[in-house]
Amino acid sequence: IAQLSYTRSMDIVVHLKSIFAHHGIPQVLVTDNWPQFSCSHFQAFAVCYGFEHVTSSPRFPQSNGEAECAVQTVNRLLKKSSDPYRALLAYRATPLQNGYSPAELLMGRRLRTTVPALPSLLDPALPDYNALGAKEREKRWRDARTFDKRHKAKNLEPLVPGQEVWITDARAQGTVISAHEAPRSYRIKVPQGTLRRNRHHLVSMQTEGKGVEPVDEPVGEDTPTPTVRTRSGRVVRKPDRLNL
């Protein structure tokens, strides 16, 4: 966490260099699509320091949920505390659901705080990363299953190059160019240029109008109106109205 007086790309790079000097250079750095991260200056910084720069899906914060949740947590800490550094110290020393604090996961030791603790508890001790990784994967799988069940989520069909789609957030029609390197993202050609969107924002134009299919049934005295059948197979009958 760093305090920025300006949000220019050069200022962000300076703070990132300071963080990398303390904790090392990551293999992959995930950011959003701010202009500060997509400019040539930041790309040159990524090449110079040898890390892969990955951006989340535009206008889809859910694809970068870990960072969004971390920002919300830090904002709540800073608003509620008169001493922000002490609040950050308490947050980094508090154990998570897996039993380890963020400091233990990063540095392999507990931090000394104002809470009394035995000196032996402050000795460096690396967590069992194999068991921890298995526990985290199981927890994420359970969370994903609960989320999908609650929101009735389902996998969308993949798109192919040349397919016509409707971009819901831009309210425009486009053509799929290719799949993006990021999961469930596509490059879309529009009259103004090229866009990148998550599959969540794209509706295939080829399926438009296929939601209902007419059903040929004999028309009798009691069924003066035709019926239609939905995609799920349910028969829909139009209501009978009096011709007054």
Supply the CATH number for residue 200's domain.
Answer: 2.30.30
Examine residue 107 and state whether it is found in any structural domain, yes or no. yes
Tens digit of each residue's pLDDT (9 = 90 or more) over 9-28: 999 999 999 999 999 999 99
Q: Tell me which of 130, 154, 175 is where a domain ends.
A: 130
Instruction: Say whether both 19 and 119 belong to one domain.
Output: yes
* CATH code for the domain in which residue 60 is found: 3.30.420.10
Instruction: Calculate mean pLDDT across residues 85-102.
Output: 93
Instruction: Say whether both 124 and 179 belong to one domain.
Output: no
- As a whole number, the mean pLDDT across the chain is 87
**pLDDT at position 208, please?**
47
Please count the residues of the chain.
244
Instruction: Say whether both 122 and 171 belong to one domain.
Output: no
Instruction: Say whether both 105 and 198 belong to one domain.
Output: no
Examine residue 17 and state whether it is found in any structural domain, yes or no. yes
Decide if pLDDT at 224 tops 60: no
Examine residue 98 and state whether it is found in any structural domain, yes or no. yes
Instruction: Calculate mean pLDDT across residues 94-99.
Output: 91
Examine residue 235 and state whether it is found in any structural domain, yes or no. no
- Which residues are CB-neighbours of 65 under 8 A, at least 6 positions away? none
Instruction: Say whether both 126 and 24 belong to one domain.
Output: yes
**pLDDT at position 106, please?**
92
Residue 197 and residue 57 in contact, taking contact as beta carbons nearer than 8 Å: yes
Range of the domain at 44: 9-130
Examine residue 145 and state whether it is found in any structural domain, yes or no. no
Instruction: Say whether both 30 and 80 belong to one domain.
Output: yes
Query: Measured in whole angstroms, how far is the alpha carbon of residue 108 from the centre of its chain?
Result: 28
Instruction: Say whether both 15 and 103 belong to one domain.
Output: yes
**pLDDT at position 217, please?**
54
Identify the weakest region by mean pLDDT among 77-86, 136-145, 206-215: 206-215
Examine residue 146 and state whether it is found in any structural domain, yes or no. no
Angle between helices 84-93 and 65-80 (to 10 degrees): 130
Sheet holding 235-237, edge to edge: 212-215, 227-230, 235-237
**pLDDT at position 206, please?**
73
Decide if pLDDT at 215 tops 80: no
Confidence of residue 211 (pLDDT cuts 50, 70, 90): very low
Domain count, the chain: 2
DSSP 26: -
Instruction: Say whether both 30 and 99 belong to one domain.
Output: yes
Instruction: Say whether both 94 and 192 belong to one domain.
Output: no
The alpha carbon torsion through 125, 126, 127, 129 (nearest 10 deg) reads -170
Examine residue 66 and state whether it is found in any structural domain, yes or no. yes
Between CA 192 and CA 240 the distance in angstroms is: 48
Between CA 48 and CA 128 the distance in angstroms is: 33
Please give the residue that has the higher pLDDT: either 135 or 239: 135
Identify the weakest region by mean pLDDT among 4-18, 36-50, 53-67, 126-140: 53-67
Instruction: Say whether both 106 and 27 belong to one domain.
Output: yes
User: What proportion of the chain, given as a percentage, has pLDDT over 70?
Assistant: 88
pTM, rounded to two decimals: 0.72
Instruction: Say whether both 113 and 32 belong to one domain.
Output: yes
Q: Which tokens in the block code for residue 206?
A: 């080829």
Examine residue 135 and state whether it is found in any structural domain, yes or no. no
Instruction: Say whether both 110 and 181 belong to one domain.
Output: no
**pLDDT at position 44, please?**
97
Confidence of residue 164 (pLDDT cuts 50, 70, 90): very high
Between CA 171 and CA 134 the distance in angstroms is: 42
Q: Tell me which of 130, 152, 172 is where a domain ends.
A: 130
Q: Give the burial class of 185: count Cβ atoms within 10 A of its Cβ; 0-12 exposed, 13-18 middle, 19 or more buried.
A: buried
